[in-house]
C-alpha cells in the first residue's frame, strides 16, 4: 500500500513538472531552442557535461556558435529546463542586443550571479543601480591616457625581459603550451600598470617581513585560482595543501593591498599612473562626494586584476595559435609591423594608431574566441522583442518580467548576417572602416561596456607586434599528429574549455628568430 502511494506521488510530481515545463515554453510563445532537464546556465553548470536532452553542457553554447539560430530560423532562441523550472532567452541579433545594452534600467545585470566575485568587497562588476553608478564614477578615471602610456611602456619592458632573460635570445624556442608565456606576461603588466609593483621574469623572490609569500606569488595565485575560491565553501579550503595555499594567496594579496592603501594614504604624494593609485586618487573625495571603503577599493582593484590578466592572456594564446596556422596572415602582419616599426627599434606609444593590422588581428581573434561567451541580463518588466526571422517575417517574442536574457556573443560573432564566412580567420574584416560595430561585443556594450578595453588593446598590440617582429611562429610538430589534416590540426589547437572565461586547453608552438 505504501509503495503504491509513493508511486502515485511520483506520477503526480512528474505530471506537475511536465505541466510547468510546458507552461514555461508557452510563456515565450513556444520559441524554439534548447529543451533540457537540468539548467546549466550557472557557475556550477560550468562542470556539467553535454548530455542530449539532459543538460546543455558548459561549452556547447560556444561550440554551437550560430547553428541553433540557423536551425530555429530566428536569432532569438529559448532555453527551457525542468530543474529548475526556468526559461532563459538567448539573443544573437545585433539590433535586439543594442536595445538590451542601451536600456540598462529595463535590462539590468542579474547581480546574484556575481555575488561570488565579491569576497574581497563589492565592486563595479557585481553591482547595479546606485551602487554601480558610484563605483563606475570613481573607477572610470583610473583608466586614463597616462595609464595607457604606462601599460605600453611596461609591456615593451616585459617583452624585452622575456627575450633577454627567459629565452636568452635563443634562435629557437619551443613552448609546449603558449599560455605558459601569455599568462606571466599579462600578470607582469597588470602588476605594474595595475598595482605599481615591478616584476621581472626571474625576480621577486624575497618575502617581506609580515608576509608568508611574495607579492608576485600571491598575485599569481589569485589570478589563476579564482574558480576554486568561488565554488568551494570556506571550510573546504583547509582540507588539502593545495587549497590551503590558494586560501593563503588570497589572504596575502588582501594584506598587501591593505598595506598599500595605508602606505599611500600616509606618505607624501608621488605622481603615479597605475590603476591602484588612480583609484585611490579618485576616491580621495572632496568632502561631499561619497567614497569607497577599504573593502570596496580592494574589491574593485581585484576585478581589474581578474579582467586584465586571464582574459587577455587567453586571447593572446588564441591569437598566436591562429597566426601559426595561417602563415600568410602572419607574413602580412609581419610586413605591416616592419613598415611602421623600422630599424629594429622598440615600438613607442605613438605607433599604436599606425599598427592597424595588429589591432585587426586582435579583434578577429576576439570575434572568433570571445573571452566572455555570454553576457547575462534580466528583464525588469514585461516587454517584447521584435525581430525579422529567416523567412523575412516580423516575429514578436514576449519577454516576461524576471526572464534571464543572455547576449550570446559567439552566436552574434558568427552570424552570417553580419560576418562573411564567419568561421574563417580574416583580419582584413577589421581593416575596413565600415565593419559592423554593433555586431562585435567582446567588451560588452552600452553603459556597462568594459572599462579596461583600452588597457587590453594597448598591451595586446605591444605583445603581438614585438613577438611577430622578432620571431616566426609555427605549430610544434609532434609524432603522434604527423598525419593530421589542416582541419584536424585546427580542431586540436583550438580545443577549449569555458571556466570564468573561454580558455584554450593547449597551444604548442615553436618560435624561430627572424634574420
> Residue 53 has what pLDDT?
64
Whether omega for the bond prior to residue 84 falls within 30 degrees of 0, making it cis, is yes
Q: Are residues 10 and 85 in the same domain?
A: yes
> Residue 378 has what pLDDT?
94
Q: How many residues does the chain have?
A: 515
Better-predicted residue by pLDDT, 209 or 361? 361
Q: Is residue 74 part of an annotated ligand binding site?
A: no
Mean pLDDT along residues 371-389: 92
Q: Are residues 307 and 384 in the same domain?
A: no
Average pLDDT, the chain: 86
Residue 436 maps to a domain: no
Residue 437 maps to a domain: no
**Is the pLDDT assigned to residue 13 strictly greater than 60?**
no
Q: Are residues 234 and 310 in the same domain?
A: yes
Q: How many structural domains comprise the chain?
A: 2
Cell of 245: 595555499
CA separation (Å) from 425 to 257, 319, 336, 365, 487?
41, 10, 18, 8, 13
Residue 453 maps to a domain: yes
CA separation (Å) from 193 to 125, 155, 314, 462?
20, 9, 19, 14
**Is the pLDDT assigned to residue 488 strictly greater than 90?**
yes
Q: Are residues 297 and 219 in the same domain?
A: yes
The pLDDT tens digits for 239-287 are 898 999 999 999 998 898 888 888 777 766 667 788 888 888 888 765 5
**Structural domain that includes position 16:** 2-102+376-413
Q: Are residues 96 and 223 in the same domain?
A: no
Q: Are residues 158 and 255 in the same domain?
A: yes
The pLDDT tens digits for 170-194 are 999 999 999 999 988 998 898 888 8
Residue 151 maps to a domain: yes
> Residue 10 has what pLDDT?
63
The pLDDT tens digits for 325-351 are 999 999 999 999 999 998 888 999 999
Q: Are residues 319 and 277 in the same domain?
A: yes
Q: Are residues 269 and 338 in the same domain?
A: yes
Q: Are residues 397 and 452 in the same domain?
A: no
> Residue 323 has what pLDDT?
98
> Residue 1 has what pLDDT?
63
Mean pLDDT along residues 352-381: 95
- Which range is most confident: 287-301, 326-340, 470-484? 326-340
Q: What percent of the chain has pLDDT over 70?
A: 87
Residue 188 maps to a domain: yes
Q: Are residues 380 and 367 in the same domain?
A: no
With cut-offs at 50, 70 and 90, classify the pLDDT of residue 44: low
With cut-offs at 50, 70 and 90, classify the pLDDT of residue 60: low
Residue 190 maps to a domain: yes
Q: Are residues 187 and 96 in the same domain?
A: no
Q: Are residues 293 and 380 in the same domain?
A: no
Within 10 angstroms of residue 1's Cβ, the number of other Cβ atoms is 5
Question: What is the CATH number for 312?
Answer: 1.10.630.10
Q: CB under 8 Å to 128, separation ≥6 — which residues? A: 108, 109, 111
Residue 91 maps to a domain: yes
Residue 220 maps to a domain: yes
Amino acid at each position: 500500500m505504501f509503495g503504491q502511494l509513493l508511486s502515485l506521488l511520483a506520477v503526480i510530481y512528474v505530471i506537475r513538472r511536465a505541466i510547468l515545463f510546458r507552461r514555461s515554453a508557452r510563456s515565450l510563445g513556444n520559441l524554439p531552442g534548447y529543451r533540457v532537464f537540468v539548467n546549466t546556465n550557472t557557475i556550477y553548470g560550468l562542470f556539467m557535461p553535454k548530455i542530449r536532452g539532459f543538460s546543455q553542457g558548459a561549452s556547447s553554447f560556444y561550440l554551437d556558435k550560430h547553428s541553433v539560430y540557423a536551425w530555429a530560423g530566428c536569432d532569438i532562441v529559448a532555453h527551457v529546463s525542468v530543474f529548475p523550472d526556468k526559461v532563459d532567452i538567448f539573443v544573437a541579433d545585433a539590433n535586439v542586443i543594442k536595445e538590451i545594452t542601451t536600456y540598462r534600467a529595463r535590462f539590468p545585470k542579474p547581480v546574484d550571479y556575481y555575488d561570488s566575485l565579491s569576497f574581497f568587497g563589492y565592486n563595479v562588476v557585481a553591482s547595479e543601480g546606485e551602487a554601480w553608478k558610484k563605483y563606475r564614477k570613481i573607477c572610470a578615471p583610473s583608466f586614463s591616457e597616462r595609464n595607457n602610456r604606462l601599460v605600453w611602456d611596461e609591456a615593451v619592458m616585459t617583452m624585452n625581459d622575456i627575450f633577454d632573460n627567459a629565452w636568452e635570445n635563443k634562435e629557437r624556442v619551443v613552448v609546449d603550451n603558449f599560455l605558459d608565456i601569455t599568462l606571466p606576461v599579462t600578470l607582469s603588466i597588470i602588476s605594474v600598470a595595475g598595482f605599481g609593483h615591478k616584476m621581472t621574469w626571474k625576480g621577486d623572490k624575497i618575502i617581506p617581513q609580515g608576509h608568508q609569500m611574495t607579492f608576485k606569488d600571491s598575485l599569481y595565485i589569485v589570478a589563476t585560482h579564482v574558480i576554486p575560491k568561488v565554488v568551494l565553501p570556506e571550510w573546504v579550503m583547509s582540507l588539502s595543501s593545495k587549497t590551503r595555499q590558494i586560501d593563503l594567496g588570497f589572504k596575502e594579496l588582501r594584506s598587501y593591498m591593505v598595506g598599500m592603501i595605508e602606505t599611500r594614504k600616509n606618505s607624501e604624494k608621488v605622481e603615479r599612473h597605475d590603476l591602484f593609485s588612480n583609484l585611490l586618487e579618485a576616491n580621495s573625495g572632496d568632502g561631499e562626494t561619497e567614497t569607497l571603503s577599504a573593502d570596496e577599493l580592494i574589491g574593485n582593484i581585484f576585478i581589474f586584476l581578474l579582467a586584465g590578466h586571464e582574459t587577455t592572456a587567453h586571447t593572446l594564446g588564441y591569437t598566436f595559435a591562429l597566426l601559426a596556422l595561417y602563415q600568410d596572415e602572419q607574413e602580412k602582419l609581419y610586413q605591416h609591423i616592419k613598415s611602421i616599426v623600422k630599424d629594429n627599434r622598440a615600438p613607442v606609444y605613438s605607433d599604436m594608431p599606425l599598427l592597424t593590422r595588429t589591432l585587426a588581428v586582435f579583434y578577429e581573434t576576439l570575434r572568433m574566441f570571445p573571452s566572455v561567451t555570454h553576457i547575462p541580463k534580466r528583464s525588469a518588466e514585461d516587454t517584447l522583442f521584435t525581430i525579422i526571422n529567416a523567412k523575412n517575417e516580423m516575429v514578436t517574442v514576449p519577454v516576461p518580467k524576471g526572464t534571464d536574457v543572455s547576449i550570446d556573443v559567439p552566436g552574434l560573432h558568427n552570424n552570417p548576417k553580419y560576418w562573411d564566412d564567419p568561421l574563417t580567420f580574416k583580419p582584413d574584416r577589421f581593416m575596413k572602416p565600415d565593419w559592423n560595430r554593433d555586431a562585435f561585443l567582446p567588451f560588452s556594450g552600452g553603459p556597462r561596456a568594459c572599462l579596461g578595453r583600452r588597457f587590453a588593446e594597448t598591451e595586446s598590440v605591444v605583445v603581438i607586434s614585438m613577438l611577430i617582429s622578432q620571431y616566426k611562429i609555427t605549430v610544434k610538430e609532434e609524432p603522434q599528429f604527423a598525419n593530421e589534416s589542416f582541419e584536424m590540426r585546427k580542431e586540436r589547437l583550438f580545443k577549449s574549455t569555458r571556466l570564468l572565461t573561454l580558455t584554450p586547453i593547449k597551444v604548442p608552438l615553436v618560435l624561430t628568430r627572424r634574420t
